[in-house]
Structure 1
């Protein structure tokens, strides 16, 4: 069954003077999807979000909402609401008045407004705080009210512009769960903008990685992480070791390359026989022991960073530095010291050959 498209972005470009923020971007976002636009500062993700909201106009291209071209519609005519990083709540109003404000402007009847406000407060677990003002709330509580207000008018699409970036780590993690639960409960399409890869991987149905004003890759979180299309995506999503490689042969979707660690045969993206390439190998894909059987790689630990759940090691193998992540599975377990000899091993299929 074909999925219904909520948003269609077709060949959208945006220039600010001589600077081209977006370069002919195209993709579809589906109904009831948690879709994330992820990328570094200046990649064009917020500009694109603002164009969907109606706060910016593209230099060229088309944006459709459920099949309707919306570029000529002002923001208040689009059934699209935005949640901002700053919450944008009215400080002099109670929480229930903040939620009711937009519904009053839409001309809803008083009884319907009261019912909807009560429903929204219950949805975000804020009913006991209905008569408080924003200044009497924590950051996470203010964020919940901003979400309730944005959802109250039953938008077709909800836009979220880095809404968690002002929160502390623990609260950010809790709000990720709440956002995902809200999206599932309402069935509304969420379009989330962030530069935080962990947020994107945790919450999204699909991720659009943007870089230099272009779409680098679109896919489910595991696809983006495990099968990056290019070096930009592999480098931006998570951490990886890049090893220079020379492509010996290509057979279908697999390539054999020579690397400083020896020959490797694995999956590739765009490799060409005889051409230089890059081998991407995630730190957690590398096994490390002080004694390892078989044809292991022999190296020396030259750096160590304890991170709680993991310890990150730097290991030098034949002059090549590798980043290796080892899970701390046992409390107070012995960790390997800097200067210790170790043996490394990895499954070839856990690496990816990327064209340079």
Structure 2
């Protein structure tokens, strides 16, 4: 990573009674980066976020903010602000009073506060509503005010704890665009927590996938989706087919395997040896059907199909093994492969990955 470091988490652990929430977690977040912690409930991502904010203390390890140890620094002394899922706006205050509140606590003079509040309300497109109260707003509008309030003091880091989860689908998609734009315009480091893989892939510069209190993988959205390092990551991020395979031989960065339906192929792999049992992961959209089949070729029978607008999702029986495939509906008529049809099936070997069993 070439940019300066904003946050460094070093061997951080945390237990709640007998429950190990975090186990020696380490990672670096770059300055001006949109960094997402992604994982299922209970994986430790919110605990980590609360530690960055100063609301929780680790049992061991270090947390550095711009090179300074902050474990013993109280929340109000850190240049870190948090946007919560519940927005946490003051219902009795107007929107401009909500945004001004933190600045008043910091001792800013009134003229500077007025300028900054006006700037922030305009930045989130809420200037004309400055005199309204939170109860008069939609969920998306309240989210914008929570962002304006958190960004107003010019924090070094903005923490976002599943801030879009209470919004409907269309509004979530719109707010994702707004968050990306805000982060780029302000240049502030954003640390975003979510269990939603689509949100993480859409917005992030880099993603840390957490599972079982540990970092499973860190990488760009493309790396996380296309090059998962283990079965947990491949399974949690997106949809995939898992095939139990036998490793026949290996070479640097790849392995030749035999699939349950007899096809032999060579795919990217790490840490495998001849004779190992392993798992082959292949995404449904990488599997081509009918006249689009190419690469590793075989046949399969369509046992189920689901039309989803832009795509049709198929389930195939390949010599007793179930495979899922997705086919883009490029024409107005959509896909016309009927149930029960036996069709050519194919995929490029490089699109699959050999993982530990």
SS in 2 for 1:304: strand
In structure 2, relative to structure 1, the CA distance for the partners of 1:295 and 1:72 (3 Å cut) is: closer
The farther-off stretch of 33-42 and 341-350 is: 341-350
In structure 2, relative to structure 1, the CA distance for the partners of 1:292 and 1:269 (3 Å cut) is: closer
1:32 matched residue in structure 2: 32
1:345 matched residue in structure 2: 346
Q: Post-superposition, which runs of at least 4 consecutive aligned residues in structure 1 deviate over 4 A? A: 290-295
1:10 matched residue in structure 2: 10
2:312 matched residue in structure 1: 311
1:101 matched residue in structure 2: 101
- Which digits, 9 at most, give the CA deviation of each residue in 1:129-166, with x for residues without a partner? 11111111111010000000000000000000000000
2:275 matched residue in structure 1: 274
- Which digits, 9 at most, give the CA deviation of each residue in 1:277-318, with x for residues without a partner? 110000000100169589731111111111111111000010
SS in 1 for 2:76: helix
Q: Which runs of 5+ in 2 are unaligned?
A: none
2:213 matched residue in structure 1: 213
TM-superposed deviation, 1:87: 0.4
Name the CA distance, whole Å, in 2 between partners of 1:109 and 1:307: 56
1:326 aligns with 2:327: yes
Q: Map 1:216-235 to 2 at 5 A.
A: 216-235=216-235
- Which digits, 9 at most, give the CA deviation of each residue in 1:309-339, with x for residues without a partner? 1111000010000000011111123422221
2:115 matched residue in structure 1: 115
In structure 2, relative to structure 1, the CA distance for the partners of 1:72 and 1:329 (3 Å cut) is: same
Name the CA distance, whole Å, in 2 between partners of 1:291 and 1:258: 23
1:164 matched residue in structure 2: 164
Q: How many residues align?
A: 356
8 Å Cα contact 2:296-2:347 kept in structure 1: no
The farther-off stretch of 63-72 and 338-347 is: 338-347
Q: Map 1:80-229 to 2 at 5 A.
A: 80-229=80-229
SS in 1 for 2:269: strand
Name the CA distance, whole Å, in 2 between partners of 1:323 and 1:106: 56
Name the CA distance, whole Å, in 1 between partners of 2:296 and 2:246: 22
Name the CA distance, whole Å, in 1 between partners of 2:220 and 2:10: 21
TM-superposed deviation, 1:25: 0.1
In structure 2, relative to structure 1, the CA distance for the partners of 1:155 and 1:223 (3 Å cut) is: same
- Which digits, 9 at most, give the CA deviation of each residue in 1:21-56, with x for residues without a partner? 000000000100000000000000000000000111
Name the CA distance, whole Å, in 1 between partners of 2:27 and 2:335: 49
Task: Give me the TM-score of the superposition, normalised by structure 2.
Answer: 0.97
SS in 2 for 1:112: helix
8 Å Cα contact 1:260-1:320 kept in structure 2: yes
TM-superposed deviation, 1:2: 4.0
TM-superposed deviation, 1:266: 1.3
8 Å Cα contact 1:291-1:342 kept in structure 2: no
Name the CA distance, whole Å, in 2 between partners of 1:294 and 1:64: 49
Name the CA distance, whole Å, in 1 between partners of 2:11 and 2:293: 52
Task: Give me the TM-score of the superposition, normalised by structure 1.
Answer: 0.98
